[in-house]
Chains A and B, each alone.
Chain A
Amino acid sequence: MILATLALIAYAGVIVEAAARATSVAALIGALGAVGVLMLVFVLWRADDELLPWALLLAGLGYGLSLAVRHGGVAEGAPLVGAGLLLCGELVSWSLDERFAIEADRSIVAARGGALAGLVLGGVLLGGLVLAVAAAPLGGGLGWTVVGAAAVVALLGLAARLSRS
């Protein structure tokens, strides 16, 4: 129950962040977020994680929408939004794992919590690194686009390999 609540809080945090930064489309972002929350509640209630990626995608779309209407410089909070989505997904998954009444050593629970914290922190740092690299005067152009495309291909390849195995 605690994990599920924390997951919902993380999700709500992302939605609030997106809506606060773009008040003109706050209602639309709120609607997307509400649907996403309903999906998360369904996932937690039915212990079926099929809708989890869709809920995360809706939150991501909401944030993308807020970026689209936003004027000004780079949003520094983007890595935190990504980390929030990751945290939400992991907490939901952990909550579903804990549905089975399995007596576990306290050290195992602590180890998973630590690993999750490390993963989220690493995600924030990586996101921050991306923003830092973008802000640095390294020049733009085709090279970065190729790097981005290669990353996309690598991720899709990884997803395809894992979904096949």
Chain B
Amino acid sequence: MTRIDSSRIVAYAGLAAFGLVAGLVAGRVELVAVAAPLALAAVVGAGLVRDPGVSATLTLDRERALEGDDVGGTIALSSAAPVDRLELYVSLPRELQLVEGNPRAISLAASRTLDVALRCERWGAFAVGPVALRARDRLGFHSWEAVAGGAQPLRVYPSAETVRALLAPLETQVFVGNQTARTKGDGIEFADIREWTPGDRVRSINWRATARRGELHVNQQHPERNTDVVLFLDTFTDVHHGMRGTLDMTVRAATSIAHRYLQRKDRVGVVSFGGFLSWLLPESGTRQLYRIVDSLLQMDVVLSFAAKGIDILPPRTLPPKALVLALSPLLDRRSAAALLDLRARGFDLVVIEVSPVPFVDPGAGELAQLAYRLWRLSRESLRMRYEQAGVPVVTWQDGQALNVVLEEVTAFRRHAVLTRA
């Protein structure tokens, strides 16, 4: 441990020496009497030098938690000598808070175990610790400082919002799933009736239609298929106010949507399109959910001026017929262009605009207000470009339920189909 002495011991010793010399020179015993308490303090202070040799070990009850959870842990403390005042400070990111207060001071006889509770206020992958220790003598003349305990990993998963209705893709894949395909084949959902052809199974004959028309007719069904969903996350920019921001909303929405699609046996992939490019190939199952959430926890905005298009993505990240669900604040030209490129390549694209507007201060001045209005207009213009390309764009404001946004996309698509008809 590193020892730090208070400068006041030296001051007391110096003042006492000055008083003694003055007393000797002037022949006044009162000055010696005045110096005596200060001399006593200096001697007592010098006598309190004793390294307590404090060590600490931090352990957490678990490595994974959900947002809002309290994670328990212990700090095991031991010392070679009793410590009158031991100050502890657990190094924490701002998203985690110690329930008991941080820092705190305790007394330590020889060994002690402190129970701590960490409140996970926001999602993320964090390192908890190390523990900064400062042992002080009773009068605060000396202190010993050390850093102990190491860092413990803690992953806090975002709480998933309940998503009731999901977006149905225009086309399904060939594997079995829960999504009713638009094509006809073996399935449960009734699709149509047609005339019997050799090879049709007897059990598919519609006897009522056959009796009415005098010829064999068979039922046709929509098969249940799975879908490929690619969550295209724009991580070029983040507009935030405090802990809430566009990236935070994006991660929360991606988690909720991925969770729901994977529950439905669909395959879900993730493309993080930003300064730092990362992707997960579409897969299904619970393991994929953990993979996705783990990758989302690492997500951050990395400043980059490199021009990027979807050409740099591996081909398998965007399988044919996949529904591409883009979550973007529509602030970076590169992501806006990439999305239009995806649409031009025939992908079934839906853009959820994670609105940065609530996090932007319009400013007070006339010029600032004008700039703000121009910025809003340019955003409107960009949205129009998407809509002209046949891409549904819905705005998601902070505090709005994700269900509302998804319903809005469904309504847009329904409207588009009717218009075409």
Which residue numbers of A lie inside 8 Å of B, CB to CB? 49-50, 52-53, 56-57, 60, 63-64, 67-68, 74-75, 78-79, 81-83, 85-86, 89-90, 93-94, 97, 100, 102-105, 107-108, 111-112, 115-116, 119-120, 122-124, 126-131, 134, 145, 148-149, 151-152, 155-156, 158-159, 161-163, 165
CA–CA, A121 and B26, complex, Å: 26
Instruction: Report B-chain residues with C-beta under 8 Å of the C-beta of A75.
Output: 30
Q: Does B9 contact A (CB under 8 A)?
A: yes
Which 6 pairs show the lowest CB-CB distances between chains A and B?
Answer: A123-B37, A159-B13, A53-B11, A104-B105, A78-B30, A78-B33
CA–CA, A82 and B26, complex, Å: 17
Q: Is the CB of B24 within 8 A of A145?
A: yes
Instruction: Report B-chain residues with C-beta under 8 Å of the C-beta of A129.
Output: 36
Q: Is the CB of B11 within 8 A of A108?
A: no
Shortest distance between the CB of A20 and any CB in chain B (Å)? 15
Interface of A is mostly: helix
Which residue numbers of B lie inside 8 Å of A, CB to CB? 3, 5-24, 26, 28-46, 84-85, 87, 100-101, 103-107, 138-140
Q: Is the CB of A115 within 8 A of B138?
A: yes
Q: Is the CB of B34 within 8 A of A78?
A: yes
CA–CA, A83 and B33, complex, Å: 9
CA–CA, A56 and B20, complex, Å: 15
Q: Closest A residue to B30 by CB, please name it.
A: A78
CA–CA, A155 and B45, complex, Å: 12
Instruction: Report B-chain residues with C-beta under 8 Å of the C-beta of A134.
Output: 29, 32
Given the contacts A78-B30, A82-B35, A119-B139, A103 and B20 also touching, CB distance less than 8 Å: no
Q: Closest A residue to B23 by CB, please name it.
A: A148
Q: List 14 interface pairs A-B (beta carbons < 8 Å), by A numbering.
A: A60-B18, A67-B31, A78-B31, A82-B34, A85-B15, A90-B139, A108-B107, A111-B85, A111-B107, A112-B85, A123-B41, A131-B33, A156-B13, A158-B13
Given the contacts A67-B28, A112-B139, A152 and B21 also touching, CB distance less than 8 Å: yes
